Amino acid sequence: MAFRVRVLAFDEGAEIPPRYTGEGENLSPAIEWEDLPSGTRSLAVLMDDPDAPAGVWTHWMLWDIPTGEHGIPEGFVPGRVGTSGANDFGAEGYGGPMPPQGHGPHRYYFKVYALDMSRLNLHAGTKRWEFEKALRGHVIDECCAMGRYERR
């Protein structure tokens, strides 16, 4: 079986329900992964929007997730599991989709990385470039799920 992730709130490629957006309740959707590759010692999550007008927008970063976890529950709050990085809204934790009005639909990728180390040794609030640098050479495998959202 292949390492895979799914977002429980919507089907692959479907519209993200409003409650998980910045216009709604801004709750993170529950995500689950399965079939971790051999040698996985921890996991990391990244959610981003490659369609943002100013370039890729980071909505969520989380790392140092123990392999005993099989997902992240709905409404994630930083500090429950793993370590949260700074999103591009300037906060730790999840920041839901909220593309510019009239900009059309955006794609949101939920990426999960299987890592060969148990800790990235990054502090809470770390920026994306530091997160990506710490991942280099430690990703055994990755998987992703995608949803869409358009602000009306």
pLDDT in tens, 15-52: 999 999 999 999 999 999 999 999 999 999 999 999 99
Q: Which helix (H) or strand (E) holds 84?
A: strand 83-84
- The pLDDT of 63-88, averaged and rounded, is 93
Helices in 18-136 by DSSP H: which ranges?
128-135
Phi, psi (deg, nearest 5) at residue 11: -75, 160
Query: What is the C-alpha to C-alpha distance for residues 91 and 46, in angstroms, rounded to an integer?
Result: 14
Q: Is residue 1 over pLDDT 80?
A: no
Beta-carbon count within 10 A of 106 CB: 21
- The pLDDT of 96-104, averaged and rounded, is 93
Q: Is residue 79 over pLDDT 90?
A: no
Categorize the per-residue pLDDT at 78 as very low, low, confident or very high, splitting at 50, 70 and 90. confident
| Residue ranges of domains in the chain, CATH in brackets | 4-149 (3.90.280.10)
Whole-prediction pTM: 0.95
Among 135, 115, 26, 109, which Cα is nearest to 69's?
115
